[in-house]
Every structure is written in structure tokens, then in C-alpha cells.
Chain A
Amino acid sequence: SQQGEEDPQALSIQEGENATMNCSYKTSINNLQWYRQNSGRGLVHLILIRSNEREKHSGRLRVTLDTSKKSSSLLITASRAADTASYFCATEAGNMLTFGGGTRLMVKP
């Protein structure tokens, strides 16, 4: 079963714009992670935010976590065509990682 649900399911933006993806989940978690998947490839870990953290940055990525609302957001700033991929949030509890359905991001050059 999917723990996290991403919103939107698909997002199309122009290069240089910011992309925001949201994730909601249902149960208590140890941490929340974001992954990227290029078409036909495996998933690549982007960033992990622990349940006691509220915001984390990594390069052009900014992740927020609101445990009271059981939600997270991933912001990609100054997007590039190479950012085109599917992005998944995943929640970890009890050493098990459960993935949402993903957001398909298309960045047009």
C-alpha cells in the first residue's frame, strides 16, 4: 500500500522556473525521503529529512516537513531541462520505506 501521496501527479514548467511538489502521508514516520527516477532507470536518493527537522537544503533542492499536517514539500529552484524526471516521496518507519505514486516533472527548455 502507498503511504505517501504526491501532488500534483504531473507538472510541466519552463526552464528557470521553480518546481514545487507536495507529499502527504498517513502514519508516524522516522524520516521522509525524496527520490528521483529518470525514465527506464533506478531511483536516486535526493534528500532525507528526519521527523524532528522542519527544513533541509541541498543545492537547488529545499525540503520542508510538517509532521502535524503529515506533509512535505520538495522545491527545485531554477529548474533545468535535465531535472525532467519522476520524483517520489518515501516515508520510513521501522526500517521500511514506503513510496508514494510520484510526480512526473517536465522542464521545457
Chain B
Amino acid sequence: DAGVIQSPRHEVTEMGQEVTLRCKPISGHNSLFWYRQTMMRGLELLIYFNNNVPIDDSGMPEDRFSAKMPNASFSTLKIQPSEPRDSAVYFCASSQSHRDGYTFGSGTRLTVV
């Protein structure tokens, strides 16, 4: 298995533009998580899905952020419109129930200028 795959690896965009981050979880994993990492706030859970259904989105900063999981092999995190304070590394992770921990992707480094 290639692991959790995120794209793009890097994204530079202008303030006000729409940004879409993509994630392909490990096949067979039934939970998917989106995290954001910054120096100031560390790793924050934004939203997680179980069996493609959003379970907890209380970490989503505001209405500019939305996430979808249309099927078991794909999820997106969208920011519209983007702002400079959204600059961070966004990680996707997947897991299979409560076994063996989470598998993280390599992250998307987002810079909003």
C-alpha cells in the first residue's frame, strides 16, 4: 500500500482564492482525519469522518472551511476564500478502528499571500 496520499504537496495562492486539498486514505481504513499544524497552535484536529460520514467538525475554524468524503477512497478539504492566517501544513490521516494508530500523509504546505 502506498500509504495515505495527499495532493498537492505545496500550494501557494493569493488571498481570496479557493484552495482544495485532496486525500486518498489507505484502503480498508474506515476513519479519516484532517489536521492542521502551525508553530503557534501545534496539531489541531479539524474534522473526522467515519465510514465516509462527518462525525465531528467542531475543529473547523469557520464557514470558509468545508470538507467532503464522497467515497471511501477520497476526501477534500476546501478553503474559500483563503486568508493569510490559513497558511499551515494540512495533514490527512486514516485509521482502522482503534488498532495500530493513525497513518498520516506527507501533508500539504499551504501558503496564502
Interface residues of A (CB under 8 A from B): 2, 30-31, 33, 35, 41-45, 48, 88, 92, 95-102
Contacts and interface: CB of A to CB of B under 8 A. Distances in A.
Is the contact region of chain B dominated by helix, strand, or loop, or is it mixed? strand
Nearest to A48: B101
B98 A97 contact: no
A102 B41 CA distance: 11
B98 A45 contact: no
B108 to A, nearest CB: 10
A98 B31 contact: no
B105 A42 contact: yes
A42 B42 contact: no
A63 B35 CA distance: 25
A99 B43 contact: yes
Given A44-B104, A45-B100, A102 B45 contact: no
Interface residues of B, number: 22
A33 B42 contact: no
Given A2-B42, A48-B100, A48-B101, A43 B48 contact: no
A95 B103 contact: no
B45 A92 contact: no
21 contacts: A2-B42, A30-B98, A31-B98, A33-B102, A35-B104, A42-B91, A42-B104, A42-B106, A42-B107, A43-B43, A43-B93, A88-B43, A92-B98, A95-B31, A95-B55, A96-B45, A97-B33, A97-B93, A98-B45, A99-B35, A102-B42
Interface in B28-53: 31, 33, 35, 42-43, 45, 48, 50
B102 A97 contact: yes
Given A45-B102, A95-B31, A96-B48, 18 more contacts: A2-B42, A31-B98, A33-B101, A35-B101, A42-B104, A42-B107, A43-B43, A43-B102, A45-B100, A92-B98, A95-B48, A95-B50, A96-B45, A97-B45, A98-B45, A99-B42, A99-B43, A102-B42
